[in-house]
Copies of this chain bind each other. A is one copy, B any other.
């Protein structure tokens, strides 16, 4: 069931079809350009899930696999595989914890930590690139709008 065509005449609160199309084209171009520039990054590319897992552990040291599974909405066994891979690469360690001997505390190794911050800096570099393409005076406005869109209640 197609959406009704945007109404031009009203000038009410709805975005015009032209605005929608322009925004869509811009996003598409943007994603495309950065997807290509993305290639050629690290020693071994590292799975998307593994990256997410790594970053979660970086923010929640000594967490368990179940926490990550809940957070990412995936099966616990999938996280088990991911942590296996990360451990095999020497990026994290599994510690047995005192209070509950069923649980494992996941903690990043030195190298894992470095990888995590490198990953975050890569994300930041993307943001820096975007902001640098705007005039300094425009940046606050842009950030305010993106924030408004992201945190809008409804």
Contacts and interface: CB of A to CB of B under 8 A. Distances in A.
Interface of A: 2-3, 6, 13-15, 19-20, 22-24, 26-27, 29-30, 33, 36, 39, 73, 117-118, 121, 123-125, 127-128, 130-134, 136, 138-143, 145-152, 154
Contacts of A127: 15, 20, 23-24, 27
Given A26-B143, A133-B148, A138-B145, 13 more contacts: A3-B124, A14-B132, A15-B131, A15-B132, A15-B139, A23-B142, A24-B127, A26-B147, A26-B150, A30-B149, A39-B73, A133-B154, A134-B149
A143 B23 contact: yes
Nearest to A11: B136
Given A33-B150, A147-B26, A150-B30, A19 B132 contact: no
A52 to B, nearest CB: 11
Nearest to A123: B24
Contacts of A149: 26, 30, 130, 133-134
A1 to B, nearest CB: 8
B73 A23 contact: no
Closest 8 CB pairs of A and B: A30-B150, A15-B131, A26-B150, A133-B152, A29-B150, A26-B147, A26-B146, A133-B149
17 contacts: A2-B118, A6-B128, A14-B128, A15-B132, A19-B140, A26-B150, A26-B151, A27-B127, A27-B150, A30-B146, A30-B150, A39-B73, A133-B154, A134-B148, A134-B149, A141-B141, A141-B145
